């Protein structure tokens, strides 16, 4: 008998063999690493950068530097590149996340404290710097460090000591800070700590950023100090600083009255000593006035710094007696204000020791200044020099070239006087 029986169900298809999924993520990570490697593949080039030059000059002078700037403008990147350019291992310490004992040293009790005392053990990063013998210590986020930590940093910044450990001479210190308005729970720098730094305002340069993002960043190089200029540079720096402080004794020490300004550069014997070193280094390196201005104003403040820079300009003026001795070969300063000062000095020298030859030489110098295209600069010196003429002195032929300038200036002065007189008369009549 045949019976209908259900047919056998087809055998299920064998399950696919498990495929390892490890290789796919690994290959994608390798591609990602390759892409990041390409992004990091940048070059450097020598490029004029007064901020970077000022920073490098202060570092070469072994002075602590504090970079002030808004977040995200490249302060850390600049320090990283500086350390690489100078072949210094970079050690970064975030000051705000450390305890005071991390900078003053951790007390370690020995076998016999009564006999040996309690030594202060340094942190591991300080030990690594000592072993390397050199390095760039980068103290980041200094403006977010509380006052207790700032107090602990005083000895580190000035004496280079951490606990019982002395950092080697090859270690340089650079710090960075954001303005208090740009950070949450920020602190003003204490005056003792602020006065230990050269303060540099760090701003971004649009062209540098664009070219750097394209793959080429500026390269920091140590300034080339001219060995033959070293004694002259030291003498120049001492005369500049001592000359200013002799004339302005109140600038020797001037603690600012506001908390914010106390956290920046201000004049003290310590900061003037730093300024003297920076002037000597900048002079020996042939640095520009813009670089020197950043360094000087960043050490003693804007007011005293500008006074010192003005004094430096006067020191660079040619000797009036040298100009009078050879008016035909004399070289007058190119800057208008310095040329004006040089001509005023010549006229003052003639007034002090008047004679016919010196008077004629002074007129020749004024004509040279006029021919250089600066007629407004000779008006006052020419008028003063004309008043020094004695009866037996003939008027030199060169004065004819200046007659138009002096006469035009006189007419302008008289016209201005008439306008002023009319205005006063009108005001009086209206009362």
Residue 2 has pLDDT above 80, yes or no: no
Do residues 201 and 53 both lie within one domain? yes
The DSSP call for residue 227 is G
The answer on 81 and 50 residing in a single domain is yes
pLDDT of residue 111: 64
**CATH number, domain at 99?**
3.40.50.300
The residue from 189, 218, 247 where one domain ends is: 218
pLDDT at 430: 59
Identify the residue with better confidence: 152 or 414: 152
Q: Residue 129 in contact with residue 137, Cβ under 8 Å?
A: yes
Q: Examine residue 40 and state whether it is found in any structural domain, yes or no.
A: no
Distance CA 286, CA 233 (A): 10
pLDDT at position 184 is 58
Q: How far apart are CA 431 and CA 426, in angstroms?
A: 9
Q: Are residues 279 and 241 in contact, defined by beta-carbon separation less than 8 angstroms? A: yes
Would you say residue 31 lies in a domain?
no
Q: Answer for the pair 338, 378: CB distance below 8 angstroms, yes or no.
A: no
Average pLDDT, integer, range 319-328: 88
Which residue has better confidence, 193 or 411? 193
Taking the C-alpha atoms of residue 192 and residue 340, their distance in angstroms, rounded to an integer, is 41
Q: Is the pLDDT of residue 202 over 70?
A: yes
Task: Answer for the pair 208, 50: CB distance below 8 angstroms, yes or no.
Answer: no
Share above pLDDT 90 across residues of the chain, in percent, rounded to a whole number: 32
Pair 56, 141 in one domain: yes
The verdict on residue 20 lying in a domain is no
Q: Which helix (H) or strand (E) holds 23?
A: helix 23-40
Q: Which residue reads 């001037």 in tokens?
A: 254
What are the phi and psi torsion angles at 176 (to 5°)? -135, 145
One domain for residues 288 and 365: no
pLDDT at residue 62 in the model: 93
Which residues contact residue 347 at a Cβ distance below 8 angstroms, ignoring those fewer than 6 apart?
A: 362, 381, 384, 385, 388
Average of per-residue pLDDT across 145-171: 89
pLDDT in tens, 15-67: 555 544 555 566 888 889 899 999 988 888 888 888 989 999 999 999 999 99
**What total number of domains does the chain contain?**
3
pLDDT at residue 412 greater than cutoff 90: no
Residues 6+ away with beta carbon under 8 Å from 281: 57, 60, 61, 223, 225, 233, 287
Same domain, 92 and 185: yes
pLDDT in tens, 238-259: 999 998 998 889 999 999 999 8
What is the mean predicted confidence (pLDDT) over 374-384? Answer: 79
Which DSSP symbol is given to 391? T
| Residues facing 166 on adjacent strands | 161
Tokens at 193, concatenated = 């700590």
Taking the C-alpha atoms of residue 176 and residue 118, their distance in angstroms, rounded to an integer, is: 33
Distance of CA 50 to the CA centre of its chain: 7
Residue 36 lies in a domain: no
The region of weakest confidence among 197-206, 218-227, 412-421 is 412-421
What is the average per-residue pLDDT within 204-224?
A: 84
| pLDDT beyond 80 at 222 | no
For residues 260 and 305, membership in a common domain is answered with: yes
Is 191 within 8 Å of 264 (Cβ atoms)? no
In which domain, by residue range, is 351 found? 320-424
For residue 19, is it within any domain? no
CA angle centred on 195, ends 294 and 152, rounded to 5°: 130
What lies within 8 Å, CB to CB, of 284 at 6+ separation is 225, 226, 229, 230, 233
**Higher pLDDT, residue 125 or 48:** 125
Tokens of 293: 């201005």
Domain co-membership, 329 together with 213: no
CA distance 299 to 274: 7
207 and 337 both lie in a single domain:
no
pLDDT tens figures, 265-317: 999 999 999 999 999 999 999 999 999 999 999 999 999 999 999 888 887 78
**For residue 57, what pLDDT is reported?**
93
Average pLDDT along the chain = 82
Domain annotation covers residue 5:
no
């Amino acid at each position: 008998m045949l019976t209908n029986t259900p047919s056998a169900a087809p055998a299920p298809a064998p399950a696919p063999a498990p495929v390892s999924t490890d290789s796919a993520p690994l290959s994608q990570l390798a591609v990602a690493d390759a892409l990041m490697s390409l992004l990091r593949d940048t070059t450097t080039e020598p490029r004029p950068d007064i901020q970077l030059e000022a920073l490098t000059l202060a570092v070469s002078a072994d002075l602590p530097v504090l970079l002030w700037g808004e977040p995200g403008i490249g302060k850390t990147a600049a320090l990283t590149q500086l350390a690489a350019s100078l072949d210094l291992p970079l050690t970064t310490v975030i000051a705000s996340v450390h305890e005071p004992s991390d900078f003053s040293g951790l007390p370690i009790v020995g076998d016999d404290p009564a006999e040996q005392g309690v030594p202060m053990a340094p942190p591991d990063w300080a030990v690594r710097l000592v072993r390397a013998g050199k390095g760039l210590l980068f103290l980041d986020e200094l403006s977010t460090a509380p006052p207790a930590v700032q107090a602990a940093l005083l000895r580190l910044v000035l004496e280079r000591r951490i606990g019982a450990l002395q950092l080697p001479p090859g270690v340089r210190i650079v710090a960075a800070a954001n303005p208090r308005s740009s950070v949450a729970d920020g602190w003003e720098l204490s005056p003792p700590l602020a006065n230990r730094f050269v303060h540099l305002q760090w701003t971004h340069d649009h062209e540098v950023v664009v070219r750097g993002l394209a793959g080429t960043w500026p390269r920091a190089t140590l300034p080339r100090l001219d060995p033959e200029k070293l004694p002259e540079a030291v003498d120049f720096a001492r005369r500049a600083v001592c000359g200013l402080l002799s004339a302005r004794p109140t600038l020797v020490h001037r603690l600012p009255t506001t908390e914010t300004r106390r956290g920046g550069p201000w004049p003290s014997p310590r900061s003037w000593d730093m300024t003297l070193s920076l002037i000597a280094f900048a002079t020996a390196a042939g640095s520009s006035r813009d670089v020197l201005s950043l360094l000087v104003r960043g050490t003693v403040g804007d007011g005293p710094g500008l006074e010192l820079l003005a004094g430096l300009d006067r020191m660079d003026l040619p000797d009036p007696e040298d100009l009078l001795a050879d008016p035909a070969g004399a070289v007058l300063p190119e800057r208008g204000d310095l040329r004006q000062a040089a001509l005023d000095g010549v006229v003052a020298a003639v007034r002090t020791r008047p004679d016919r030859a010196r008077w004629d030489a002074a007129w020749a110098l004024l004509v040279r200044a006029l021919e250089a295209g600066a007629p407004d600069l000779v008006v006052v010196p020419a008028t003063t020099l004309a008043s020094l003429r004695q009866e037996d002195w003939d008027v030199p032929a060169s004065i004819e070239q200046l007659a138009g300038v002096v006469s035009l200036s006189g007419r302008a002065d008289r016209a201005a006087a008439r306008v002023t007189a009319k205005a006063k008369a009108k005001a009086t009549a209206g009362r």
